[in-house]
Structure 1
């Protein structure tokens, strides 16, 4: 009871009227002792960023043995120190809160403590540790029956963090998918802070992709939300990001004006991460504006702040700009030193063990989401077997097919396991197989099945041989970064041949290679043509009545680029989109997006870049007569 009197004495340093209101709220809180986050937060929300108030509440909670309130206050105090970039103190407080919440078996506060630890470690660029905490939080939160709004919020925090880890891996499209998922859930909760955070994150991912106008749009959406809830930190963060886009758009004057207004509020907020970023960007703007000495002061100051606060990503960011600064001074040896130091830090942040660990967990999430697909495919297998029991020949062929499927799936599983140790390219190739195989493999086998049912053994064996050869090519090609042009064209022809079974051989296709191209010597990314051929068939030709044609034309654009044109006489993209919207079952594919990333990875080893152009073809009356895709792949 002494602690209740303590609060009545104006323990938080407010006016007498405010003290009386506060003491009444706290007295009721300690007497009722609720165990849920939302009820505790309702009473203490105005004081959760006041460390003096939190310390006094912690003392009263201890005296009254109010463990849930004590855990709440520890986490809030840890958040205050995290925002001040005092990460060690924040970790200690969140760890203490985690131990206590586990002792009292309060799942809400266990999830809260785990996610808060994950956020701190992510700010420190400790990827593996951060992911581990967020994963534990997500696993616990998702099995809670009738989750509270607070638990739903923390599920969103975990999704957001997974998106940030995709971002760290350079998988920006996948990161955006996660952020948009969290954005939708935050919208359902009407959580404007969550909406602001995820809009900011989507902007950052688009900025990394080089889509600066899109990034700017998301930053402005986030800023509007932060203005609406008067979130000072979010306002400075968004404006800093907007200024950074201005710098990348070669508008240093606009960036400089904006950044000069942010230095004081960033300092007042006390968040060293934000202040360091503002200082480095301010130095960048000054460097591009020609004031080199002022630029050096701000960049060095931002770097020292980042280094002292254990924020290696910002140290690396500062080193890159210091390298540019020394290059402008024509001090090339010093510029090179900064470049080497930045490269060293980057390797430390994204080391192989961290990337492997992240890839393993991401693949686990994807595997869980495909469980329903696997169940449906298993049912389809049973149906196939029951129909083929009519005679011994069909039973034998059915057994061979099922054995083949089992072998393929086993090989795919073993290869995917070995690919876990590979870098990002291995992840992309595995995803390419997992997107293509579940639909294509079983649909192809169903087509072959019809030959078996009709007792057309010759065609069944003929197409089964082609199918086996195609599967082998897919599995071999998915483990390679590049292959011979002749091999890729043969794989494409096998694919078209198998798909054509589904269309009763209605599709006419041709593959033409220019005389001046040696298909045995030219190298291209493996399995790069299949996604475009698949789109041409399923979105262009499948909705057309007759006269279905595909042309694949290979030629040299010039001495350094190979040009591959894929032309179909289908219904065109506009009509295809209308048909897709009216379908009950929609086919979603990320094959072309992943192919673009793989082409970008392939082009890194060459002096020249790649390009993909999609051209709508029209006749003289303005009606669609198909689509033309032009791939330009570097040879030098």
Structure 2
């Protein structure tokens, strides 16, 4: 039916072609005249286009939104016919902005679009470097390898090419080949007196030797980088000194590390800003070398030598400086380390005081993380809106070019009457294909946006889960302290610090090995059992057929269910209950995890809640439901959870979780 309507439509066009011929000529001439007029005007827009790009580069580091807006204006300034080279330069500049701000996916997309518009060695090099930063090392090597055969490349760009190839091979665990590229880049840099790159490449060659445990060669190149950096600037000397100090730390040469870091500390204190921004591969890194960080590392070196008395002043100074600079990360780590030092010295009073300070800092850090997540969400929305605007501009340009091509085609059709019908059909087919392509691009854009939103929501929920767990677990610590049970409190604190460290280490991961999750859960249940030993016993049974290393699971997925079983089921049971955690592999790709308790049951637990508790929903369980929903949306029903009563009288609870292997 649709095919018949299309054929009828074609015949209708043919019937009216003769009548519309003169009108078509006038319309075609008008369109072509306008396009040519715009083209003549476009010859004078080259300078305006370059000015917009220069302005975008000025604001690249300080104002992302304004910088991208200038890129959009540079694309708007191009005429209807378009200039592929100028368009490519705009897209390349946009990719560099996203690359600087670590939006690597967007940077890669724009670099690809720029290469599609007009191939450029500079853009290919930037694309390869972005692949390295994004961890796609094979794609980086594939992109950069053809550039090795390019002749007459600018020396600085040639050095960047060898450096990027070395970085890609480091990512692919091929240090020997990486070393060859770094050596070649160093040769070109020394020949052309490119001092910053000479220092960078000496350090990277030293890193490759260090990774192969060739200490003598590594130390030689590190010494070269130190000597060269002394001629450049104090900031660069501090950067290289810290890298060499890290090397000494890895090799357990703590005295050398401490001596070098103390020199860096003196150099840093003489600088007006008292901190040094770290630059790597031309892209700003969200890290700085500060006095509080160096003091913290010096203290750790003393601790590694069991010189606790020497470490304490540096830890205290690091905490004070971090507090003055509002550096909560260093303040948190230094306060925790100071608490452990006092504990190891046997001064439990100061250890407790430091630990309480640590808890307060963690609380402040959690509030700040929530603010940063909110800012990141707003930042991503602004970037998405701006990127959509630029995409619309590009689609509009393509549409204008299509109109121009159609006008030329119409003029040729009117000049060649014998080919009129054929060209009309081709134009219609082209229009249909263009519409389908536009629809496809729009569909893909929506899918990518949905994926980005899911990832952001998942990260936000995961970030909320960890503090929720920590704050609940701290109640158990407080219980022992309140009972003045010093030995139990000390033991509990030690085990709890191990548990909390594991939780924080896994907080940035979407999935972790099931074995890690089980270790964390076993430690958590052990801690809870030490508090409620008269309320329940527990067992963790893992079927022999279960390969725990083969499965991946979202961190902290099982803990809220176990916490509910203990706190809302077993704690209120008059006689001693039990908690069973069983793992059974149903198929090669499907694992079943059951959490069973013979507590008072969900119904009676709800009845025991106060009116205030009934108004508040469990934040942990609510976040778990949202996480499972997002994970199943992203990974096609990877996780399935069901909750049921254990007994007919509505006592006891059984939670069944089924996990699919990727």
Q: TM-score range by the shorter chain?
A: 0.3 to 0.5
Higher relative contact order (CA closer than 8 Å, sequence separation 6+): 2
Considering only CA atoms, is the larger Rg found in Structure 1 or Structure 2? 2
Q: Normalization by structure 1: what TM-score?
A: 0.39
